[in-house]
Structure 1
Amino acid sequence: MTTIQTPEFWVAVGFLLLIGLIAKPAWKGITGSLDSRSEKIKATLDEAASLREEVQHLLADYQRKQRDVAREVDEILANASAEAEHFSKEASEELAEALKRREDLAMEKIAQAEAEAMQAVRESAIDLAISATQRVLKDQLNEATAEKLIDNAIAELPDKLH
């Protein structure tokens, strides 16, 4: 018997045909499934790359914003320091002016008090001189001398008025 006539040969041929018939659609299914899985993986990788690029842009934006905010903070601190120095200088000048005004006012009050004291001393000296003169005149002036002094004073009056 030849190999073609043996049942094993025909079982092998049938098996190979069966495998060939099953393998072609199965191969298409397997390759299709693998291709679709490959496409999904590629899409996922593309999406991940896109997200990574977007995250890189966001990171760059936030870093730029952080630098801008740091610069603004430095500017605000510099301005606040300058304003504080200005206000301090202004307050110091205003305090010096207020102290000068108070000193001037105190000096004016002292001068006024001195003038009032001098006036009081003068008035007191005048009163004292008048009182002393009255006593001296009372003690040393007689009636004839008094009339003579009065007549002289009346005579000199027109000369003093003009």
Structure 2
Amino acid sequence: MRHILIAVLALSATPALAAGDVFFSLANTDFVVTLGFLLFIAILLYFKVPGKVTEMLDSRAVGIQSDLDEARALREEAQTLLASYERKQKEVQEQADRIVANARQEAERSAEAAKAEIASNIDRRLAGAEEQLAAARAAAIRDVRDQAIMVAVAASKDVIAKNMDAKRTNALIDESIDTVKAKMH
């Protein structure tokens, strides 16, 4: 009640009172507006609107605070998850690096083994080629000898046939027969 009295006294000190006119008259619009305003304030106070507004603001503040707390908790959880995922990503990256390194080492080993196998195959093929070459060389030498023998026999036959007469041929045949008889006994 005391607040109302102070409000009425504060509002009554208007320029209309200072001018000397009668302020407390229903013909004075300032007075009517002041009365309406005070009546409005009184109704608001009677229905405890400021308390309800305060309650609504407090409940809203509590709701906002709980939302902020929940947001902080979610943020902390998200940071924890992020750290966990970063740690897992780092572990997976390290594992991938190890796998790549192992694959490189295995590839190098396989390349070395392939090189060794290729060198072995080349050596075997060279040895086989050398054997074939030696066999071909021996066959060629044999063929040349056989041809040379045949040519020599043919040439000898021609030379002997030209240089031999019947008397000399009969003497050689008799001599050969005697040599065979002597060797047989």
TM-score (norm 1): 0.72
Match of 2:93 in 1: 70
Structure 1 residue 41 and structure 2 residue 64: aligned? Answer: yes
Q: Which deviations, in whole Å up to 9, do the C-alpha atoms of 1:88-116 show, x marking residues without a partner?
A: 21221222122112211211121111111
1:86, distance to aligned residue in structure 2 (A):
1.8
Structure 1 residue corresponding to 2:176, chosen from 141, 149, 153: 149
Alpha-carbon distance change, 150 to 134 in structure 1, aligned in 2, over 3 angstroms:
farther
Determine the C-alpha separation between the residues in 1 that align with 2:57 and 2:85: 41
1:142, distance to aligned residue in structure 2 (A):
3.4
Letter in 1 for 2:121: A
Letter in 2 for 1:146: I
What stretches of structure 1 move > 6 A for 4+ residues in a row? none
Gaps (5+ residues) in structure 1? 1-10
Alpha-carbon distance change, 57 to 31 in structure 1, aligned in 2, over 3 angstroms:
same
Q: List aligned pairs for 1:58-137, cutoff 5 A.
A: 58-135=81-158
For the residue of structure 1 that corresponds to 2:48, the secondary structure is helix
Determine the C-alpha separation between the residues in 2 that align with 1:23 and 1:147: 174
Letter in 2 for 1:36: S
**Higher helix proportion, which one?**
1
For the pair shown, the structure with the greater C-alpha radius of gyration is 2
Structure 1 residue corresponding to 2:78, chosen from 55, 75, 88: 55
Q: Which has the higher contact order (CA 8 A, sep 6+)?
A: 2
TM-score (norm 2): 0.64
Letter in 2 for 1:49: R
Identical counterparts, % of pairs? 38
Alpha-carbon distance change, 34 to 142 in structure 1, aligned in 2, over 3 angstroms:
closer
For the residue of structure 2 that corresponds to 1:142, the secondary structure is helix
